[in-house]
């Protein structure tokens, strides 16, 4: 298989092999890179009429997983049970849009108040008796069969949730507190010391203007001032300070759980006596750090295609690792892909019949996955023949390692001649 690897703005290519079209293929389970949104986001089984009243799934089904959909509860990777009736294409008008047409799914009780296809059970239903207190997953599956849905292999989108069997309360997990950093400045004039503190978000060093709480100024173990934070800053003026050296710290104490507490480094001032200022300068050079792409396999096998719903279908997984240690003033990076046509001997299969579902993970520092690209199904569709984004991101103060991945899906015409086809998929990082 052909492959070339180059750095940054040059092409980084990975190749894939499509097996002989027409034989059986083993399916692979995959979590779809999408989101589930429900309303309300919390409740209690002791007072709830329904588990939830609306559901939106950001991605739709792709063939062959477009014959049935269903909503299930999982805990610790183990299926607990279903919380709604399964949905097929014939039920779209009564249950909302179930995503089997390839579009995002959406269901709301305003469409049908007693919508059993949305949620027909509370979490304390006897069929969910093995559910225990703690985190669990709400999974929305797309199935390749109406009669034999396979939750071990078919793809799904998940929403992380929590449940307390004692109180009956359920909801979304609490967001972790935003880590902060406090910078402190101190200056002296006569016997007056001026202290200033800025509360910053540790992730990007921006001022935490929405942070609520106070800053406690300390000299050693003694508190010298406590000042409410306003727009991320607090200041204090100390008068009648004795001559000599004084060292201070500032501690941010939040008044809610949104931001985390933090303490500044020590700042020292000389009160009284004489002083002579000196300007300290330094130059930070440009061009520090690198942007690299690694982890691209030289070949990706889509296995052997199977005939379903009028097309020959095959799938596989693509992975890549983007490491960005560049300076913060560098522009955002973009990882894109484009495939050529598949060939075997004199036979050609157009590359437009290949699509992908991108995803990102790891310490991505704001990295995001590209959009879903479907295999061509209509005249004018280009699939991955068009340059398509796999992932993008920006430099951060801590550096980033982004694990980018994609589920590749081929939907070839049913009359495609048999053969072991191959094409070159080029990944470009700029």
pLDDT in tens, 268-311: 999 987 667 788 888 888 888 899 999 999 999 999 999 999 99
Examine the pLDDT at 14 and tell me if it is beyond 80.
no
Rounded to whole angstroms, the Cα distance separating 427 from 430 reads 10
Give a yes or no: residue 6 inside a domain. no
Q: Are residues 157 and 58 in the same domain?
A: yes
Examine the pLDDT at 38 and tell me if it is beyond 80.
yes
- How many structural domains are present in the chain? 3
pLDDT at res. 41: 95
Rounded to whole angstroms, the Cα distance separating 355 from 376 reads 8
Q: How confident is the model at residue 22 (pLDDT cuts 50, 70, 90)?
A: very low
Examine the pLDDT at 16 and tell me if it is beyond 50.
no
pLDDT at res. 365: 60
**How much is the average pLDDT of 390-401?**
82
pLDDT at res. 397: 65
Examine the pLDDT at 49 and tell me if it is beyond 80.
yes
pLDDT at res. 94: 62
pLDDT at res. 10: 29
Give a yes or no: residue 95 inside a domain. yes
Comparing 284 with 418, the larger pLDDT belongs to 418
Q: Are residues 143 and 189 in the same domain?
A: no
| Domain termination site, one of 147, 171, 195 | 171
Q: Are residues 361 and 379 in the same domain?
A: yes
Q: Are residues 295 and 422 in the same domain?
A: yes
Rounded to whole angstroms, the Cα distance separating 2 from 15 reads 6
pLDDT at res. 288: 84
| CATH number of residue 218's parent domain | 2.60.40.10
Q: Which residues 6+ apart lie within 8 Å of 84 measured at CB?
A: 70, 71, 116, 117, 118, 119, 120, 121
Which domain range does residue 391 map to?
Answer: 11-25+287-429
Give a yes or no: residue 282 inside a domain. no
Give a yes or no: residue 64 inside a domain. yes
Examine the pLDDT at 2 and tell me if it is beyond 70.
no
Q: Are residues 325 and 386 in the same domain?
A: yes
| CATH number of residue 292's parent domain | 2.60.40
**How much is the average pLDDT of 136-149?**
94
Rounded to whole angstroms, the Cα distance separating 10 from 4 reads 10
Chain-centroid distance, C-alpha 410: 25
Dump pLDDT digits (tens) for 93-141: 666 889 999 999 999 988 778 888 889 999 999 999 999 999 999 999 9
Give a yes or no: residue 99 inside a domain. yes
pLDDT at res. 289: 87
What are the φ and ψ backbone dihedral angles of 92, each rounded to 5 degrees? -60, -45
**How much is the average pLDDT of 316-340?**
92
The distance between the two most distant Cα atoms of the chain, rounded to a whole number of Å, is 93
Q: How confident is the model at residue 364 (pLDDT cuts 50, 70, 90)?
A: low
pLDDT at res. 203: 87
Q: Are residues 362 and 400 in the same domain?
A: yes
Report the mean per-residue pLDDT for the chain.
Answer: 88
Q: How does strand 354-361 pair with strand 78-82?
A: unpaired
Examine the pLDDT at 24 and tell me if it is beyond 70.
no
Q: Are residues 243 and 152 in the same domain?
A: no
Q: Are residues 143 and 195 in the same domain?
A: no
Q: Are residues 160 and 85 in the same domain?
A: yes
Rounded to whole angstroms, the Cα distance separating 4 from 14 reads 7
Q: Are residues 358 and 397 in the same domain?
A: yes
Give a yes or no: residue 348 inside a domain. yes
CA atoms within 13 A on the CB side of 186: 23
Comparing 335 with 366, the larger pLDDT belongs to 335
pLDDT at res. 111: 77
Rounded to whole angstroms, the Cα distance separating 355 from 163 reads 38
| Domain termination site, one of 136, 171, 206 | 171
Rounded to whole angstroms, the Cα distance separating 56 from 147 reads 25
Q: How does strand 299-301 pair with strand 11-18?
A: parallel
| Domain termination site, one of 259, 275, 301 | 259
pLDDT at res. 19: 31
pLDDT at res. 4: 32
Chain-centroid distance, C-alpha 96: 26
Examine the pLDDT at 173 and tell me if it is beyond 60.
yes
Q: How does strand 54-57 pair with strand 105-108?
A: antiparallel
pLDDT at res. 401: 86
Give a yes or no: residue 34 inside a domain. no
Q: How confident is the model at residue 20 (pLDDT cuts 50, 70, 90)?
A: very low
Q: Are 186 and 225 in contact (CB under 8 A)?
A: no
Examine the pLDDT at 232 and tell me if it is beyond 80.
yes
Q: Are residues 73 and 160 in the same domain?
A: yes
Q: Are residues 419 and 300 in the same domain?
A: yes
Nearest CA-CA partner of 156 in 280, 250, 43, 58: 58
Q: How confident is the model at residue 376 (pLDDT cuts 50, 70, 90)?
A: very high
Give a yes or no: residue 134 inside a domain. yes
pLDDT at res. 284: 81
């Amino acid at each position: 298989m052909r492959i070339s690897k180059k750095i940054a703005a040059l092409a980084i290519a990975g190749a894939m092999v499509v097996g002989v079209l027409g034989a059986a293929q083993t399916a692979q389970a995959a979590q779809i890179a999408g989101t589930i949104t429900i309303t309300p986001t919390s409740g209690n089984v002791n007072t709830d009429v329904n588990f939830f009243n609306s559901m939106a799934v950001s991605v739709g089904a792709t063939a062959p997983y477009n014959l049935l959909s269903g909503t299930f509860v999982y805990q610790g990777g183990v299926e607990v049970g279903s919380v709604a009736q399964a949905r097929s294409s014939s039920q779209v008008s009564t249950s909302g849009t179930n995503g089997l047409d390839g579009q995002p799914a959406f269901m709301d009780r305003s469409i049908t108040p007693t919508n059993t296809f949305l949620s027909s059970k509370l979490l304390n239903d006897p069929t969910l008796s093995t559910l225990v207190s703690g985190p669990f997953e709400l999974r929305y599956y797309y199935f390749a069969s109406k009669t034999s849905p396979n939750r071990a292999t078919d793809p799904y989108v998940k929403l992380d949730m929590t449940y307390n069997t004692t109180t009956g309360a359920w909801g979304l997990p609490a967001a972790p507190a935003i880590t902060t950093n406090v910078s402190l400045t101190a200056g002296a004039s006569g016997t007056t010391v001026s202290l200033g503190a800025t509360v910053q978000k540790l992730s990007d060093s921006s001022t935490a203007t929405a942070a609520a709480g106070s800053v406690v100024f300390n000299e050693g173990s003694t508190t010298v001032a406590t000042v409410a934070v306003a727009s991320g800053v607090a200041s204090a003026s100390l008068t009648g300070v004795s001559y000599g050296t004084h060292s201070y710290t500032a501690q941010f104490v939040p008044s809610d759980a949104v931001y985390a507490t933090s303490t500044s480094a020590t700042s020292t001032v000389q009160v009284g006596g004489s002083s002579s200022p000196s300007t300290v300068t330094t130059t930070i050079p440009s061009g520090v750090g690198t942007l690299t792409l690694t982890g691209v396999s030289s070949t990706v096998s889509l296995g052997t295609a199977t005939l379903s719903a009028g097309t020959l279908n095959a799938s596989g997984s693509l992975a890549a690792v983007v490491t960005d240690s560049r300076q913060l003033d560098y522009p955002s990076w973009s990882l894109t892909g484009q495939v050529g046509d598949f060939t075997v001997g004199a036979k050609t299969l157009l590359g437009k019949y290949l699509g992908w579902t991108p995803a990102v993970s790891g310490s991505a520092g704001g990295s995001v996955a590209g959009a879903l690209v479907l295999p061509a199904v209509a005249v004018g569709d280009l699939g991955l023949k068009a340059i398509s984004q796999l992932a993008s991101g920006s430099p951060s103060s801590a550096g980033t390692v982004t694990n980018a991945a994609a589920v590749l899906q081929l939907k070839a015409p049913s009359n495609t001649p048999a053969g072991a086809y191959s094409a070159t998929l080029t990944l470009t990082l700029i």
